[in-house]
Structure 1
């Protein structure tokens, strides 16, 4: 959980910061400061609705792709018989020996199809709730 969260929040923050430091991002922030309270919640999103959803999906995909091999190893550990238990490293090496490094990513695409919408909506709601609840991020 910790590595996944670190990648998830880290990637989103990097993408958001990078955008807000572009001329387009600075222009958007300036517009938001000028208009102030006249903007609705959707217009107050620093990245805008589509970019918030996109960056959330990208962050979710990066987190899933980074931590997916650990999930494969964990599942293999759970399937092992009690009498022939291997450790995590030995299980990982066995997976790689049998199927190569791609075996650590077997099933990643269906997992991404589940994670992408969830991550996008999660970040969108997070950013919207910061506005509605008037929580300052900086």
Structure 2
């Protein structure tokens, strides 16, 4: 799993128990999945269709640093299926796993649009192709 983003847990991210609010964490995961999909599919019109069961395993406290990992499960015709893991950098514990996040590539009129992608592409490879 590639961990792309780190977040610093601040007071506004906490629940009444003084730990990281689950809704905030899910928003971070959703944003990371969207950014990853936009880059992979080369289209800024990507939406979240589905997020599978989530499994909270531990938490984080104010001042902790968490990192968000994303991996591709598969490429669909107009979708990208991802999985995510978030871990606490301070305690080294997994906070949450999400096994399936389905992101849908949209066309001009907001309808699913085939993306033609079949494998992970890296920006450095795209830049190298452009310079050839």
TM-score of the alignment, normalized to the shorter chain, above 0.5:
no
Higher relative CO (CA 8 A, sep ≥ 6), structure 1 or 2?
Answer: 1
